[in-house]
Structure 1
Amino acid sequence: MIITLLGTGDSPGTPVINCHCRTCEDARRKGWERKRFSVMVQNNGKTVLIDTSPDLRRQLLDCKVEKVDAVIWTHCHFDHFGGFGEFYRVQNNVRVYSTPQIHDDIGYFMKFMSYKPIEVDAFESFNVGGVDFTLLPVNHPPVSAVGVKVEWKGYKVVISGDTNARIPESTLREMQNPDLFIVEALAPAGKFRKHMNAREAMELGKRLNAGKIVLTHLGHFYPPHHIAVKSYPVGEDYQSFSFGEGRLDEFIGD
């Protein structure tokens, strides 16, 4: 099983249009960026996307992905579903898993698109390509939102989804002891109604006894990546994690 961070940015991405802060200028000058959030899970020749970033066309082309077998939506904010239209005239009837509420929230915007919505209740596991997925309620007011638990051959990966630190105890129990915790952390510090900062995300990872913590959904509030990575376990676009043979390997794709 391979898990790839297709995009590690927040809703505007980095660099932000018309922003000339230190981080955005460094990104422009050195040619790096943080595309909008999406995570790709691949196993047994199957590809599952957790959220469909507005940057999805570029992400799939860069990763040489020609077919998507299933999608999971975590909530109805545009930076998490807006790229689904990139399948238009490319692929029809893609299976899309989410809770009934999230399907209702997003369905209005997808009327032009032919896809197969599959409603799944929270805490109810489903299998795609030999991998088990479970949707876990989180706290991202005012919308309904979920994180995702991914399990394969004894490995456990938890993706927090967009959430603040006030996650239900029933979800925290399901999240315990992940080998890899991919967790949103909008900024190094600050108080946010809908999101976590880096300190809160790291504390949550320690509470869950995570084997490895990777921060994602990162805003331009962090210093440039080459500096931020010295202080925080910040993720990077196209960073991948390979599971198998009793080990977890990490690499950066092209």
Structure 2
Amino acid sequence: MTASARLTFLGTGTSFGVPQIGCGCVVCRSTDPRDKRTRCGAVIETASGTRLLIDTPPELRLQLVAADIDDIDAVLYTHEHADHIHGIDDLRAFTIRRATSLPLYGEAATLHTLRARFPYIMDEQFRPLPGTTRPEGTLMPIEAGVPFTVKDTEVLPIAVPHGRASVVGYRVGDIAYITDAKLLPDTARTALAGVRVLVLNALLRHPHPTHLSIAEAVAVAQEIGAERTLLTHLTHDNAHAALAAELPAGVEPAYDGLVVTCS
């Protein structure tokens, strides 16, 4: 049997998560498990077994346990916002079992923020007290549009605009993961040509200054023409079942724990 690449959605919510603190709306009170959305993150596992974690959201430990992810080869950071990086301490569970530090890939601005906020992870001179441990990461700078390799797997970072932040999505073979984009420039559309599984953020029903709306994401999905497009970074404005029922063929909302295979 031919091995398949796998995409696992660890979290599919916005920076607030769902349910949102202090909110009693229908979605926040929903009993549908697909309406429980932790902060955005994902894992791509290639047919050859390379396992790539995208971002380290605040609920990372819980997400990884739920998805039964016990090892990774690298972290691919999309950008520096807190909901995408502040679970970084949970990488310690991986690094205490590695002979070398974990490679952390990202653009210069993202790596600068990681070094500034978490110096104890990046500083090779820092030594924890005897009997204690710390996460150990090596910052690996990347440039949008320039492929790099993790083990035997080529990864293409794709630049997308997100307000004042610099953001990259990633294409790994036939799978592409784009989050926190306001639009897809021509360079991104070219990089996504022929992709079979596409992930796009879709924040709200009305326009937002830094994110694709649901209608905008659907329009982009139809232009790209992937076999399957999954929407992530969803708010409590949309119940999963209701949103799934109204989306066109080939486009669907993702949910925490969803696994998509691409053979």
Verify: 1:24 aligned to 2:39, yes or no: no
Output the amino acid matched with 2:242: I
1:84 aligns with 2:88: yes
1:227 maps onto 2:227 in alignment: no
Aligned to 1:122: 144
Q: Which residue identity is paired with 1:108? A: A
- After the TM superposition, which of the residue ranges 200-209 and 86-95 deviates more from structure 2? 86-95
Could you list the runs of 5+ residues in structure 2 that have no partner in the other structure? 122-135
TM-score, normalised to structure 2, is: 0.84
Displacement of 1:107 after TM fit?
2.2
Q: C-alpha distance in 2, partners of 1:5/1:19?
A: 24
Shift of 1:213: 1.0
Please name the residue that 2:9 is paired with.
5
CA contact (8 A) 1:45 1:129 kept: no
Name the structure 2 match of 1:48.
52
Alignment match of 2:155 (pick from 108, 112, 133): 133
Question: How big is the shift at 1:220?
Answer: 0.5
One-letter identity of the residue aligned with 2:115: G
1:99 aligns to what?
Answer: 107
Local SS of the residue matching 1:58 = helix
| SS of 1:35 mapped into structure 2 | coil
Q: Deviations over 1:1-26 (max 9, x none)?
A: 11111111111111111101111011
Say which is worse superposed, 64-73 or 105-114, in terms of deviation. Answer: 105-114
Instruction: Say which of 176, 182, 195 aligns to 2:193.
Output: 176
Distance, in Å, in 2 between the alignment partners of 1:169 and 1:47 is: 29
* Alignment-derived partner of residue 181 in structure 2: 163
Paired residue for 2:128? none
Residue of structure 2 in register with 1:242 after alignment: 261
| Stretch deviating more after TM superposition (171-180 or 13-22) | 171-180
- 2 CA distance for matches of 1:41 and 1:185? 20
What TM-score results when the alignment is normalised by the length of structure 1? 0.87
Q: What is the one-letter code of the residue matched to 1:42?
A: E
Q: How large is the RMSD of aligned CA atoms in angstroms?
A: 1.8
For 1:173, the aligned partner's letter is: T
8 Å contact from structure 2 (residues 197, 262) kept in 1: no
CA contact (8 A) 2:179 2:232 kept: no
Cα 1:64–1:186, aligned 2, differ >3 Å: closer, same or farther? same
Whether contact under 8 Å (2:80, 2:110) holds in the other structure is yes
What are the ranges of 5 or more consecutive residues in structure 1 without an aligned counterpart? 245-254
Deviation (angstroms), 1:162: 0.7
Deviation at 1:243, TM superposition (A): 2.2
Post-superposition Cα deviations, 1:149-202, rounded to whole Å, max 9, x if no partner, equal 111xxxx2221121102x322222112231011000012x11101101111001
Paired-residue identity, %: 25
Instruction: Name the residue aligned to 2:208.
Output: 192
Match of 1:109 in 2: 117
Counterpart residue type for residue 106 of structure 2: S
Aligned residue for 1:252? Answer: none
- Structure-2 residue corresponding to 1:202: 218
SS for the counterpart of 1:25 is coil
Give the counterpart letter for 1:57 in structure 2. R
Q: In the alignment, what sits opposite 1:35?
A: 38
Deviation of 1:123 after TM superposition, in Å, equals: 1.1
Q: In the TM superposition, what is the alpha-carbon distance from 1:32 to its structure 2 partner?
A: 5.0
